[in-house]
């Protein structure tokens, strides 16, 4: 396309040049020829006038010789013609041989004007000749015509020489101007192609590139304008990109899931939280109905579409995971008065719901746990007041029950307080380097009497006295006591062992028993507040249902981990990973 344009321009220039040069050549040669002929006419006329006066018309026999002499002097063919047109003297041919000349144009014109001219091809000499005829008058009477004829061979020769010169000059000029034109059009082509390449680069977003065209006249100005334009485009696009980036960062960092839905129910934009919420799939381009599977949400969208007012609804999503969500939908309009779509923000309330449930369960559990001993204490106290005090034997038994229920109440309150203190951070963890063997020995001693009552052994499997642990001494003791208390409660015979070991690089201490064990389905719940496999048996054994919850909290406060492994009828091992 580009090349075609330049080839055409070149052809037009060349054609114009050729036509004008041909015209100049024709014009110049024509002028030269006319001038030359005119000068020749004048000179022949003068010669004819001079000869005319010296022609002895009476000596007819001498006329041919005379004519020859004049020919030698002038170089022209000289003829003397009678008024009737008969050639009576000629420098070239014997005069009687020549036919009548009365009708020759130069003779006719000379008869009228005195002098006549004619330019024509002569059959006699087979050349182009200029004829000049002059009237000879003697005594006021037409006596003859003198005619001089000169071949135009010379003029033709000099015109041809001129033409050759002009043509040579023209060819030289054509070559020079062609070369100049080629050079110039090539320069222009290079500039145009540079400009077009640059424009191409700009269209591909390479706004940093600059175009330098030195000494290229208007092209340099064009390059400067393009550079300026690129600079402006670069800053505009940079600004726009920054805005878009900022927007996308803001969108990404919004913790709530966000969907931008158009009026055809198609999701146009989503953030990371939304992708996570809906199962890590690509949401853009999908219908929201396929993604947010909630009739309540769909009806909220319809309401917002009708009312053009924001609205909210609480929904539950069951896929991919159960989620409680508080959704707010706002209408979106890019142009005034026109609904362009909706923005839906999904606030995840699952955790709040869970906490609420935990709080309710906790209150119910605490009330339930407190109710039993309080009812029992109240019942026995009333019985005593109603007269049982007098019955000494029963009164003592009742008072013992009241005392043991009070102990139970006390334990419960103590455990609850410990838990809430750890949770609220009131109990601080002051870590010290402690010898694990000593600590376990001391804890085991507390249970010696109870172990004797039942049929099992207490064993500390740590031999190395130098095994140390970095822990808060009081809290670690509490962990050991709680775990040993459970082991003893749920073991009838066998061995209760405390020790230390490691799994790969991870070190742990453990309490292991050969007791009733915990069914596998409950293992994940062990450590929840008030969770017991068998609540009534736990209560019977004096348990509050908070022992492992306390252990779990202390473990977390030390940034350790607890793992419970158990087999029903075979026993339980609780491992505390401390490194």
Residues that bind ligand ADP (CB under 6 A): 486-487, 489-490, 513, 515-518, 526, 531-534, 538, 543-549, 572
Q: How far is the CB of 497 from ligand ADP (least distance, A)?
A: 12
Instruction: Name the residue nearer to ligand ADP (CB basis): 117 or 490.
Output: 490
Longest distance between any two alpha carbons in the chain, whole Å: 210
Instruction: Name the residue nearer to ligand ADP (CB basis): 95 or 538.
Output: 538
- Write the CA distances from 308 to 313, 340, 558, integer angstroms: 16, 11, 54
Tell me the DSSP string of 118-130.
EEEEETTTTEEEE
Residue carrying structure tokens 């508080």: 326
Instruction: Name the residue nearer to ligand ADP (CB basis): 118 or 478.
Output: 478
Q: How far is the CB of 328 from ligand ADP (least distance, A)?
A: 41
Q: Helix (H, G, I), strand (E, B), or coil: what is residue 484? A: helix
Does the N-terminal peptide bond of residue 320 adopt cis geometry, omega within 30 degrees of 0?
yes
Instruction: Name the residue nearer to ligand ADP (CB basis): 331 or 547.
Output: 547
Q: How far is the CB of 531 from ligand ADP (least distance, A)?
A: 6
Cβ-proximal residue to ligand ADP, closest one: 543
Q: Count CB atoms within 10 A of the CB of residue 255.
A: 10
Q: How far is the CB of 370 from ligand ADP (least distance, A)?
A: 15
Q: How far is the CB of 505 from ligand ADP (least distance, A)?
A: 27
Instruction: Name the residue nearer to ligand ADP (CB basis): 64 or 513.
Output: 513
Instruction: Name the residue nearer to ligand ADP (CB basis): 273 or 546.
Output: 546
Instruction: Name the residue nearer to ligand ADP (CB basis): 76 or 412.
Output: 412
Q: How far is the CB of 447 from ligand ADP (least distance, A)?
A: 13
Instruction: Name the residue nearer to ligand ADP (CB basis): 116 or 545.
Output: 545
- Write the CA distances from 520 to 533, 550, 567, integer angstroms: 11, 21, 7
Strand partners, 571: 567
β-pairing, 141-151 vs 257-262, is unpaired
Q: Count CB atoms within 10 A of the CB of residue 93.
A: 14
Q: Count CB atoms within 10 A of the CB of residue 515.
A: 22
β-pairing, 267-270 vs 257-262, is antiparallel
Residue 253 gets the label, from left (phi > 0), alpha (psi -120 to 50) or beta, of: alpha
The stretches of 425-459 forming alpha helices (DSSP H) are 436-446, 448-453
Helix (H) or strand (E) holding 15: helix 2-53
CB 434 within 8 A of CB 479: no
Q: How far is the CB of 479 from ligand ADP (least distance, A)?
A: 11
Q: Which two tokens stand for residue 371?
A: 């109710």
Torsion angle in degrees (nearest 10) through CA of 284, 285, 287, 291: -30
Cα separation, 513 vs 451, whole angstroms: 12
* Residue 250 φ/ψ, nearest 5 degrees: -60, -45
Helix (H) or strand (E) holding 200: helix 153-203
Q: Which two tokens stand for residue 26?
A: 């024709």
How many Å is the Cα radius of gyration of the chain? 65
Q: How far is the CB of 460 from ligand ADP (least distance, A)?
A: 17
Instruction: Name the residue nearer to ligand ADP (CB basis): 478 or 538.
Output: 538
Strand partners, 458: 496
Q: How far is the CB of 367 from ligand ADP (least distance, A)?
A: 17
Cα separation, 570 vs 573, whole angstroms: 10
Instruction: Name the residue nearer to ligand ADP (CB basis): 150 or 548.
Output: 548
Q: Helix (H, G, I), strand (E, B), or coil: what is residue 76? A: coil
Q: How far is the CB of 549 from ligand ADP (least distance, A)?
A: 6
Nearest to 312 by CA among 297, 322, 324: 297
Cα separation, 579 vs 565, whole angstroms: 19
Instruction: Name the residue nearer to ligand ADP (CB basis): 322 or 520.
Output: 520
* Residue 490 φ/ψ, nearest 5 degrees: -100, 15
Q: How far is the CB of 574 from ligand ADP (least distance, A)?
A: 7
Instruction: Name the residue nearer to ligand ADP (CB basis): 52 or 557.
Output: 557
Instruction: Name the residue nearer to ligand ADP (CB basis): 47 or 572.
Output: 572
């Amino acid at each position: 396309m580009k090349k075609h344009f330049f080839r055409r321009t070149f052809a037009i220039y060349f054609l114009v040049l050729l036509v004008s040069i041909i015209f100049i050549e024709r014009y110049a040669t024509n002028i030269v020829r006319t001038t030359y002929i005119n000068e020749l006419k004048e000179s022949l006329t003068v010669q004819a006038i001079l000869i005319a006066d010296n022609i002895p018309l009476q000596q007819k026999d001498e006329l041919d010789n005379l004519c020859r002499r004049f020919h030698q002097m002038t170089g022209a063919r000289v003829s003397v013609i009678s008024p009737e047109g008969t050639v009576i003297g000629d420098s070239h041919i014997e005069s009687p041989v020549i036919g009548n000349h009365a009708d020759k144009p130069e003779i006719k014109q000379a008869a009228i004007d005195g002098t006549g001219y004619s330019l024509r091809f002569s059959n006699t000499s087979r050349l182009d000749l200029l004829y000049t005829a002059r009237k000879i008058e003697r005594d006021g009477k037409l006596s003859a015509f003198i005619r001089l004829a000169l071949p135009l061979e010379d003029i033709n020769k000099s015109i041809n020489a001129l033409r050759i010169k002009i043509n040579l000059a023209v060819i030289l000029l054509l070559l020079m101007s062609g070369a100049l034109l080629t050079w110039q059009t090539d320069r222009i082509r290079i500039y145009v192609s540079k400009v077009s390449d640059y424009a191409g680069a700009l269209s591909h977003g390479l706004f940093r590139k600059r175009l330098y065209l030195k000494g290229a006249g208007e092209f340099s100005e064009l390059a400067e304008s393009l550079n300026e334009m690129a600079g402006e485009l670069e800053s505009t696009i940079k600004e726009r990109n920054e805005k878009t980036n900022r927007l996308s960062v803001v969108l990404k960092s919004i913790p709530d899931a966000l969907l931008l839905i158009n009026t055809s129910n198609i999701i146009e934009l989503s953030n990371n939280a939304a992708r996570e919420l809906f199962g890590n799939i690509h949401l853009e381009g999908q219908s929201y109905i396929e993604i947010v599977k909630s009739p309540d949400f769909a009806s909220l969208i319809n309401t917002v579409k009708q009312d053009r007012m924001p609205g909210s609804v609480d929904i539950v999503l069951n896929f991919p995971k159960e989620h409680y969500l508080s959704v707010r939908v706002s209408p979106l309009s890019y142009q005034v008065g026109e609904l362009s779509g909706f923005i839906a923000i999904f606030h995840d309330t699952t955790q709040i719901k869970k906490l609420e449930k935990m709080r309710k369960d906790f209150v119910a559990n605490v009330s339930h746990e407190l109710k039993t001993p309080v009812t029992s204490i109240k019942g026995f106290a009333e019985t005593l007041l109603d007269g049982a005090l007098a019955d000494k034997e029963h009164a003592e038994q009742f008072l013992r029950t009241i005392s043991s229920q009070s102990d139970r109440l006390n334990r419960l309150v103590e455990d609850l307080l410990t838990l809430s203190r750890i949770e609220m951070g009131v109990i601080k963890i002051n870590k010290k380097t402690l010898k694990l063997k000593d600590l376990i020995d001391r804890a085991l001693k507390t249970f010696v009497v109870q172990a004797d009552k039942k049929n099992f052994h207490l064993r500390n499997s740590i031999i190395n006295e130098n095994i140390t642990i970095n822990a808060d001494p009081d809290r670690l003791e509490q962990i050991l006591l709680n775990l040993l208390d459970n082991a003893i409660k749920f073991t009838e015979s066998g061995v209760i062992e405390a020790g230390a070991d490691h799994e790969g690089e991870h070190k742990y201490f453990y309490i292991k028993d050969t007791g009733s064990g915990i069914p596998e389905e409950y293992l994940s719940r062990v450590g929840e507040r008030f969770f017991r496999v068998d609540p009534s048996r736990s209560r019977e054994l004096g348990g509050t249902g908070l022992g492992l919850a306390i252990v779990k909290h202390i473990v977390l406060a030390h940034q350790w981990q607890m793992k419970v492994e158990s087999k029903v009828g075979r026993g339980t091992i609780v491992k505390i990973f401390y490194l």
